[in-house]
Structures are given as C-alpha cells and as structure tokens.
Amino acid sequence: MLIKLINKNKLIVDEFIFQCCIGKNGITNNKIEGDFKTPKGKFNLGDLFYKYKKDVKESNLNKKKIKKNMGWCNNINSKNYNKLIKISKNEKYEKIFRKDYKYDLMIPIEYNFKKVIPNKGSAIFLHITKNYKGTAGCIALSKKDFLIMIKILDKKNQILIS
C-alpha cells in the first residue's frame, strides 16, 4: 500500500485522509541532520514499534515492543548512525522509550537506511502528536488516526512524501 503525504498537513492512507504535521521547516530534497525538515521521496516503512500491546492487537504489521534500553543513533560519526541501538553513554541517540506519548506507537520511515550517509538525517518516523506542531522531521498524527492507520496497513507499505 502506498501512503501519500499530499501537503504539510494531510496524509492519505487508502481512502482515509488524516490530519498530520511534518518537520517544522517543511519538506526538502536535501535533508541534513538537525534541520527540522522532512525528507522528500518514496520510502519503505519499517516495523511497528509499540509501548502497549493493547494498541496493536488489530494490526497485521511486524511489531516490536519498545524497551527502556532502545535508542535510535543520531551520532553522525558512528557506524550505528540511523540505526536502532541498545542505548549506552558512549553513543548519541534519540530515546525510543519516552515519558511522553509521542513514540508509544512509532513506525520508522526508511529514509537514509540502505546506504547510510552520515549527516543526511536519522530517526525519521511516523509517530503520535496531540497538538500538530511541527516536528524535527518526522510525520505525526493523532493516536486515534494512528490506530486506524495501523489496521489498514500491510507489511509492504511505502510512503510518498512530495
């Protein structure tokens, strides 16, 4: 299934149109780590990460339970850049197990994944928002809409950001 971001605040999944928000500095063809922009292009989606099992029972996606030691490496000088890691004090990372709600449900957008280029952007996710304020480069939607979306998606999803 192809998910389409049709503008900075509309995401189409099947026949559903969801309100969303993107990077607070818009969309770019030239993503740089820390620029608060969402990368333009067509990308595969990764596994569904979840904090609470009850939220994902009706989804057919591959699932990963979020654990307290999970992080996403955003250290541009690391061999682990833009990869899921076990957190350590020796590595710079985005924490996946958070005190807020944003990553209670999260799907990595596989941007800069296969041939990882340092400083081209990391930790680009579909995740949850309550206020639709601009993100650091991710695409976020309400929990209610996220729960609908994960029921529709299958294991071969792609997202088109244009």
Q: What angle do CA 148, 72, 119 make, to 5 degrees?
A: 110
Q: How many CB atoms lie within 10 A of CB 150?
A: 21
pLDDT one-digit tens code per residue, 15-60: 999 999 999 999 999 999 999 999 999 999 999 999 999 999 999 9
- Could you give the C-alpha distances from 83 to 37, 127, 128, in angstroms and in order? 19, 17, 20
pLDDT of the residue at 158 = 96
Q: What angle do CA 56, 61, 124 make, to 5 degrees?
A: 90
Report residue 162 as tokens. Answer: 């244009």
pTM of the model: 0.96
Q: How many CB atoms lie within 10 A of CB 156?
A: 9
62-70 long-range CB contacts below 8 Å, 24 or more apart? 62/155, 66/96, 66/97, 66/103, 66/104, 66/106, 67/97, 68/97, 69/97, 70/95, 70/96, 70/97
pLDDT one-digit tens code per residue, 59-99: 999 999 999 999 999 999 999 999 999 999 889 999 999 99
Amino acid in the structure at residue 31: K
pLDDT of the residue at 65 = 98
pLDDT one-digit tens code per residue, 143-153: 999 999 999 99
1 confidence band (pLDDT: 50, 70, 90): confident
Q: Catalogue all structural domains in the chain, each as residue range(s) with its CATH number.
A: 2-66+98-161 (2.40.440.10)
